[in-house]
Amino acid sequence: MKILVGVKRVVDYNVRVQVKPDGSGVALDGVKMSVNPFDEIAVEEALRLREAGKATEVVVVSIGPVAAQEQLRTALAMGADRAILVESAEACQSLTVARVFAKLVEKEQAGLVILGKQAIDDDAGQTPQMLAALLGCAQASYASKVEVNDNSMRVTQEVDAGLQTIDVDLPAVISADLRLNEPRYVKLPDIMKAKKKPMDTLSLADLGVEPAAALKVVKTEAPAARGGGRKVASAEELVKELKNKGLL
C-alpha cells in the first residue's frame, strides 16, 4: 500500500506573527517557515505504518512556492521515500488542495492519505473531509490512534465527549490529531541523505486543477490590545464590578 501525506509550509509556531501595515495579510519577509506541526505528525504516522509492514512507500506532497522544497526535504529526512511539489505562487484554498490530492491519489494509486487535522496558519480544518468526499471513500478525522489491517483500519478519534473508535474500509483519508504520536528527531546524516531522494515538480495545470478561490480575505487585523486588570479586595467587590460592566 502506498501512502500520500500532505506537508504544508507555514510560519513556525514559535514566531510572533505580524500583520502588514496595509492589512493585506501577514508579513512573511525574513520569517522562519516550518512544516505544519499536524502534518509532521501525519508524516510520522505514515513512517510507522511502513516500518510495521503495513505500507510499501510513503510519498509526501506539498502545494506552494518553490521554497516549499525545504519542508519536503525535512519530511524526506524523517524517512519518506520521495516527494512531490505542486508549484503554486498563490496560496491555495482548501477545496483546491483537496482537488489536487484527489488527482494525485488517482495518479499514484494510493491506498491511504494522511493529512494534518488543520494548518496553523488558517485553522480551516476542511481539506481531509473535502478530499474524502471527492474520492467517495471513507474518512476518519481527528485520529489519536491508528491500526491497519488487510483491507480496513481501526481509528480512535478525539471527539467532544472524549474518544470513539470506528472501523473504516481502505482506501481512506485520515487526519492526524495532536496525540497520535510524537514525531522523530531528524539527524544530520538523514538530512544529507534526503538531498539525494527524488522530488517531482508539477503544476496545477499538469493535474488539470484550476485554483478557484471560494473565499476572499477583505482585511487582516491584529488583535486589539488588552487593557490591564486590577485587584479587588473581596468577592463582593468583584461581583459589584462585574455587574457594573454588564457581565452579570
Write the pLDDT tens digit of every residue in 143-164: 999 999 888 999 999 888 889 9
pLDDT at 7 over 90: yes
Residue 211 has a pLDDT of 83
Distance CA 120, CA 196 (A): 30
pLDDT value at 213 more than 80: no
Alpha-carbon span 157 to 154, nearest angstrom: 10
Among 136, 83, 77, 134, which residue's Cα sits nearest to residue 108? Answer: 83
pLDDT by residue (tens digit) across 167-204?
999 999 999 999 999 999 998 999 999 999 999 999 99
Q: What average pLDDT is seen over the chain? A: 91
Give me the pLDDT at residue 18, please: 86
Provide long-range contacts, Cβ within 8 A and 24+ apart, for 164-170. Answer: 166/140, 168/138, 168/139, 168/140, 169/138, 170/1, 170/111, 170/112, 170/138
What percent of the chain has a predicted confidence (pLDDT) above 90?
A: 70
| The total number of structural domains that make up the chain | 1
Q: How far apart (Å, rounded) are the C-alpha atoms in residues 80 and 69?
A: 14
Q: Which domain holds residue 240?
A: 2-244
Instruction: Extract the C-alpha cell encoding 106.
Output: 488517482
In which residue are the cell numbers 493535474 written? Answer: 207
C-alpha cell at 200: 517531482
Q: Which CATH number goes with the domain that contains 124?
A: 3.40.50.620
**Given this model, what pLDDT does residue 51 score?**
95
Question: Do the beta carbons of residue 2 and residue 59 sit within 8 Å?
Answer: yes
- The 10s digit of each residue's pLDDT in 33-52 is 999 999 999 999 999 999 99
Q: 207 exposed, middle or buried (CB, 10 Å; 0-12, 13-18, 19+)?
A: middle
Find all residues with CB under 8 Å of 49, minimum gap 6, and list them.
3, 55, 112, 146, 148
